[in-house]
Amino acid sequence: MNILLLGSGGRESAFAWKISQSELCSKLIIAPGNGGTAAYGKNVVLNPNNFEAVKALVLKENIELVVVGPEEPLVNGIHDFFTADEALSQIPVIGPKKEGAILEGSKDFSKQFMARHNIPTPGSRSFTNETLEQGLAYLENHSLPIVLKADGLAAGKGVLICETVADAQEELKLMLGGKFGQAGALVVIEEYLTGIELSVFVLTDGDNYVILPEAKDYKKIGMGDSGLNTGGMGSVSPVPFADEKFLKEVEQSIIIPTINGLKKDNIDYTGFIFFGLFKVGDKPMIIEYNCRMGDPETESVIPRIENDIVELFLAVSQKKLKDYNLKISKKNAATVMIVAGGYPGEYEKGKSISGIDNVRQSIVFHAGTALEGGIVKTNGGRVIAVTSLQDGQFEALQSATADAARIYFDGKYFREDIGFDLM
Ligand code: AMP
Ligand code: GLY
């Protein structure tokens, strides 16, 4: 079967690695891919948001299955584009249509969805420019800190946590004034949760679902979770504080009501749902949905899946997940992300990367890299994810960290403490 994978990050490297191991895969194209994905298939330069270009590629390469990595094409309606096109309508797409992707594309929509289906989430209200005065008044009596969220996609930067009412009022004005462009034309003001975060993932065919391994992502740039937020500096799976009882509770109070809610709302959803959760005391609460897998969570989740992933994707597209027997490795995965100096602020690209061959006990998933004349160079902020899968969590953390130290480029940085707080 000929498969097209859209995207270019560490998440897509992990997907490509796994898809290329499938006996069902005869050809894998990654568009646009990165400096590492060419090892698993063929890279084709293309913007996944250019649907006509995707169509041309699909027809040229006789693609029979499309897997969408990032959220943007989904929120922009790539799945709908396929369904509506005579030449493409029979080709399965892993990833929801617009009406499902809006769970990530609009925080206001997702909060209303959670409220409508009694899914536990912090209290919130939404405001626009027309209701700015009410918003400012609402903030006057709000508990501290205050969470402000731009409604739309803001490249991971649309969430602000304000320590004072005055700050929150100032930020509300700035956001509604265009600080995040159209994404901030509607702002969700949300109660702040105190607890510990984790990510839970399901893959659904619209009727049934499988729960994938959970993961914990480390978002801050600095050791000990300090400094600026990033796209993610590392991840672990499984998550020790998410025991069986807690995960059952997640399924009962969050996953099942979400799947049933989609059905009640007539949203036909095929693809991944990423639940951004907090463990508050011993109860789960949801702070966000994403319509895709997480990055760098995928790099820890995928190596723990023992099934043929193409077979799993086909079960999704044929609505046959009901009796699917998902096999999850008991091993522990740890991922350490190596980033460019300066990231998440300004950073340089084009640095030669060495030492990848010295990695001993880990899988190297390229993220922001490019191949230039046979040399792997940096091409983004998050450059390489190093994932180790070991019997024990400590060994996994240790070997991923040790292997991250074996890779070198000018300005490289990684957190040496990923996951050790959980031990
Ligand atoms: P997001 O962009 O929605 O992933 O949010 C970015 C980060 O903001 C999350 O990973 C949390 O650490 C934090 N955050 C979002 N909502 C809340 C909340 N209600 N309470 C506390 N922290 C939050
Ligand atoms: N690692 C968080 C995300 O992918 O949104």
Rounded to the nearest angstrom, the distance between the alpha carbon of 295 and the centre of ligand 2 is 5
Distance between CA atoms of residues 162 and 189, nearest Å: 11
The pLDDT value recorded for residue 43 is 98
Q: State which fold the 196-422 domain adopts.
A: D-amino Acid Aminotransferase; Chain A, domain 1 (3.30.470)
DSSP for 297-312 reads: HHHHHGGGB-S-HHHH
Residues 6+ apart with CB under 8 A from 363: 17, 303, 386, 387, 388, 389
Domain coordinates of the chain in residue numbers? 2-87, 123-191, 196-422
Q: What is the pLDDT of residues 178-207, one digit of tens each?
A: 899 899 899 999 999 999 999 999 999 999
Rounded to the nearest angstrom, the distance between the alpha carbon of 224 and the centre of ligand 2 is 19
Q: What is the 3-state secondary structure (H, E, C) of 45-58?
A: CCCCCCHHHHHHHH
Handedness of CA 369, 300, 228, 184 (dihedral sign): positive
Share of the chain above pLDDT 70, in %: 100
Rounded to the nearest angstrom, the distance between the alpha carbon of 373 and the centre of ligand 2 is 32
* Ligand lying closest to the C-alpha of residue 288: 1
Mutational test site, ligand 1, from 108, 126, 159, 187, max ligand atoms within 8 Å of CB: 159
Residues contacting ligand 2 via CB (< 6 Å): 217, 232, 290, 294-295, 297
The residue contributing the CA closest to ligand 2 atom 2 is: 294
CATH 3.40.50.300 matches 2-87: no
- Given a cut of 80, whether residue 125 has pLDDT beyond it is yes
Whether omega before 70 lies within 30 degrees of 0, making that bond cis, reads no
Atom of ligand 1 nearest to the CA of 194: 21
Rounded to the nearest angstrom, the distance between the alpha carbon of 306 and the centre of ligand 1 is 31
Atom of ligand 2 nearest to the CA of 232: 1
The pLDDT value recorded for residue 155 is 80
pTM of the model: 0.96
Tokens of 252: 């009962």
Average pLDDT, the chain: 97
Rounded to the nearest angstrom, the distance between the alpha carbon of 219 and the centre of ligand 2 is 8
Q: State which fold the 123-191 domain adopts.
A: Dna Ligase; domain 1 (3.30.1490)
Atom of ligand 2 nearest to the CA of 11: 4
